């Protein structure tokens, strides 16, 4: 399951970040941003976004996320 990260919140929607969100934030070098906000920014749905990350950046969430 997704692990919540203490004290880290998406600066756009205020949701508490999980480890995957933090990883994405590090990859894109932005303020703390959650996955759903990344999807909005890049205008992709979650599946498309994850496929993109997997294919081009070799990054994927832990199983069960």
For Zn ion, give the closer residue by CB, 8 or 60. 8
For Zn ion, give the closer residue by CB, 9 or 60. 9
Q: How far is the CB of 15 from Zn ion (least distance, A)?
A: 5
- The helix/strand/coil state of 29 is coil
**Residues within the interface to Zn ion (CB under 5 A):** 10, 12-13, 34, 37
For Zn ion, give the closer residue by CB, 41 or 55. 41
Sorted by sequence, the CB contacts under 8 Å of residue 34 that are 6+ apart come out as: 10, 12, 13, 15, 17, 18, 21
């Amino acid at each position: 399951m997704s692990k919540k990260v203490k004290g880290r919140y998406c600066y756009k929607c205020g949701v508490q970040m999980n480890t995957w969100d933090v990883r994405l934030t590090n990859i894109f070098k932005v303020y703390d941003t959650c996955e759903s906000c990344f999807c909005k920014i890049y205008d992709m749905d979650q599946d498309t976004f994850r496929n993109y990350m997997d294919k081009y950046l070799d990054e994927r969430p832990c199983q069960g996320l």
